[in-house]
Amino acid sequence: IQIDHVTLREVRMPLVAPFTTSFSTQTARTLIAVEVAARMGGREVTGWGECGALAEPVYSEEYAAGAMDVTERFLLPRLAQVQRDGSLTAETVGEHLEPVVGHRMAKAALEAAVLDAQLKAAGTPFATYLGVTRDRVPSGVSVGIQDSIPQLLDVVAGYLAEGYQRIKLKIQPGWDVDPVRAVREAHPDVPLQVDANAAYTLVDSAHLRRLDAFELLLIEQPLAEHDLRQHAALAQVMTTPMCLDESVVSAASAADAIAMGAAAVINIKPSRVGGYLEARRIHEVARAAGVAVWCGGMLETGLARGANAALAGLPGFTLPGDISASSRFYDRDLTTPYVIEDGYIRVPEFAGLCEEPDADALADFTVSERRLDV
Ligand code: OSB
Ligand code: MG
């Protein structure tokens, strides 16, 4: 594939309701959209990628403006150099960007845009490229921290009425045992799990063990990103399966976490791990080790939600992911909205990773844009 130019856009999507986690309250999703104008076999084709980085570096070290900067300053020039020397393919983007340390979400967005262009040029759906045969994936929902337990019960009941098959509650110190107990008592049989986004320390072990009473599917990332050994220690004293999100940034860190007993389950977010291809490698590592995986999210728009659904069609994705309908976060999406049907999200059949965004929606939500020649 030959890239002609790249347009980086800062896009600000209002959320249907504030989304509160242990690290922040978001009322809008600020994201970087990557548009790659390319040619393949004489054909002009456009590819799109969405960067998972949030506006602030509070979930991980990356943030949207930083992703924009590193893409322009360091990532694109490397791909431009490769093009001059020979050929570029989506499968080699990761290797070419490897010398740049970290910045996985920025790399993931660029790789996704190149892969989208490449698959669109070939007329191949992403699921076909992955070898996925499932045509739909079960839909779960991530429920933010609420102002009160009655409000939480209302919100959860609403999602269950929409058909979501699994509820994930965000927790933090002061919002954990009581809200989880309330939801479990209201819905004794609902698949339920919690996500702390690194809000606790090992000193909280005795308190966290109280969550073992609620038959949770898993507890996600209770401790800090770099605390692999401490997650292993906590896993030893809890019966609730330990799941890692922030700590798993690559297939290598997944292998380490599994070997240490720090992860019985892994949340795979394509953006966090540097892209869909590394996400697939983590899936292979986990599957070989007998560790279940599920697909997490970063409030994706239609530019990435369908690709997540396709990835989650791989056989090791045995737990429902945070792949909800577009309406979970957005009244108006950038593409045809993803909908929940009987508790499932359909795996897309169009060529590439996403639909071309709606020009009006994109224009309405774009804050700034930069066109870069490659
Ligand atoms: O920890 O999984 C997380 C959103 C932003 C940052 C981190 C996380 C989340 C979610 C929502 O839980 C996932 C989604 O539905 O996109
Ligand atoms: Mg998480």
168/160 Cα distance (integer angstroms): 12
Active site residues: 170, 269
Q: Which helix or strand (DSSP H or E) is residue 114 part of? A: helix 104-122
Q: For ligand 1, is residue 197 a contact (CB within 6 Å)? A: yes
Residue 86 has pLDDT above 90, yes or no: no
User: For ligand 1, what atom is nearest to the CA of residue 322?
Assistant: 15
CATH number of the domain within which 336 lies: 3.20.20.120
Q: Considering every ligand atom shown, identify the ligand nearest to the alpha carbon of residue 142 and give its number.
A: 1
Arithmetic mean of pLDDT, 32-57: 97
Q: Considering every ligand atom shown, identify the ligand nearest to the alpha carbon of residue 322 and give its number.
A: 1
At 293, give phi and psi (nearest 5°): -130, 160
Q: What is the pTM of this model?
A: 0.98
Ligand 1 centre distance from Cα of residue 320 (Å): 14
Residue 216 has pLDDT above 90, yes or no: yes
**pLDDT of the residue at 332:** 98
User: For ligand 1, what atom is nearest to the CA of residue 324?
Assistant: 15
**pLDDT of the residue at 13:** 98
Ligand 1 centre distance from Cα of residue 4 (Å): 34
CATH number of the domain within which 63 lies: 3.30.390.10
Q: Whose CA is nearest to atom 8 of ligand 1?
A: 298
Q: Do 249 and 209 fall within a single domain?
A: yes
Q: Do 64 and 150 fall within a single domain?
A: no
In this prediction the ipTM stands at: 0.99
Q: Whose CA is nearest to atom 12 of ligand 1?
A: 142
Residue 352 lies in a domain: no
Nearest CA-CA partner of 283 in 275, 297, 294: 294
136-179 pLDDT, tens per residue? 999 999 999 999 999 999 999 999 999 999 999 999 999 999 99
Q: Do 134 and 117 fall within a single domain?
A: no
What residues form DSSP beta bridges with 307?
Answer: none
Q: Whose CA is nearest to atom 9 of ligand 1?
A: 298
Full domain range(s) for residue 184: 128-346
Quick count: other Cβ atoms within 10 Å of Cβ 342? 9
The CA-CA-CA angle for residues 264, 295, 196, to 5°, reads: 60
259-306 pLDDT, tens per residue? 999 999 999 999 999 999 999 999 999 999 999 999 999 999 999 999
The rounded mean pLDDT for the chain is 98
Ligand 2 centre distance from Cα of residue 86 (Å): 39
Q: Do 117 and 201 fall within a single domain?
A: no
1/9 Cα distance (integer angstroms): 22
Q: Do 117 and 222 fall within a single domain?
A: no
Q: For ligand 1, is residue 245 a contact (CB within 6 Å)? A: yes
Q: Do 108 and 159 fall within a single domain?
A: no
The answer to whether the CB of 152 falls within 8 A of the CB of 175 is: no
Q: Do 181 and 314 fall within a single domain?
A: yes
What residues form DSSP beta bridges with 345?
Answer: 137
Q: Do 62 and 162 fall within a single domain?
A: no
Arithmetic mean of pLDDT, 88-104: 97
Q: For ligand 1, is residue 313 a contact (CB within 6 Å)? A: no
Arithmetic mean of pLDDT, 97-119: 98
Total number of domains in the chain: 2
Residue of 244, 265, 299 with the most ligand 1 atoms within 8 Å of its CB, for mutation: 299
Q: For the chain, first and last CA: distance in Å?
A: 12
Residue 351 lies in a domain: no
Q: Do 133 and 114 fall within a single domain?
A: no
Q: For ligand 1, is residue 22 a contact (CB within 6 Å)? A: no
User: For ligand 1, what atom is nearest to the CA of residue 141?
Assistant: 15
